[in-house]
């Protein structure tokens, strides 16, 4: 049993190190699109995390859920930057996205990498039938 705990701890540490390394990767447009497609291909959501750095800005996978989780979960890929004029100056696009809030949804602004905005690859509902 002790060996299993050690192996589990080691595997967790390796996974955390890999995620930390990925969070500092500088991504081209093509690499960012590939990573987003990989994230969206997995039905299960994971915790919020940094996907990498694109054009000098961190790209975040934001997982939001309302009152009936995971049924109404939404994943949003966005820059770690507030929406608005600064977003536009930095090469992003502003998007208003419906985010679960209790039993309702609220529209929230996000700064989306332009390459993802163009391809509509920035929001996903992993637990809803497509």
Q: What is the pLDDT along the chain (130 residues), one digit of tens a residue?
A: 443 343 333 333 333 334 444 567 899 999 999 999 999 998 877 778 999 999 999 999 999 988 878 888 899 999 999 999 999 999 999 999 999 988 889 999 999 999 999 999 999 988 876 5
Domain membership flag for residue 60: yes
Domain that holds residue 38: 2-124
Contact 113, 83 (CB under 8 A): no
Residue 129 lies in a domain: no
Residue 47 domain-assigned (yes or no):
yes
Contact 9, 95 (CB under 8 A): no
Is 130 a member of any domain?
A: no
Total domains in the fold of the chain: 1
Q: Is residue 33 part of a domain?
A: yes
């Amino acid at each position: 049993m002790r060996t299993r705990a050690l192996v589990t701890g080691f595997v967790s540490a390796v996974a955390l190190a890999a995620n930390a390394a990925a969070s500092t990767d500088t991504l081209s447009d093509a690499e960012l699109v590939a990573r987003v497609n990989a994230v969206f291909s997995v039905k299960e959501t994971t915790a919020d995390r940094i996907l990498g750095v694109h054009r000098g800005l961190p790209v975040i996978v934001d997982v939001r859920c309302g009152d009936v989780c995971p049924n109404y979960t939404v994943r949003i890929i966005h820059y770690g930057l507030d929406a608005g004029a600064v977003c536009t100056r930095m090469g992003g696009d502003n998007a208003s996205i419906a985010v679960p809030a209790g039993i309702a949804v609220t529209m929230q602004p996000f700064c989306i990498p332009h390459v993802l905005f163009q391809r509509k690859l920035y929001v996903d509902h992993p637990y809803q039938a497509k």
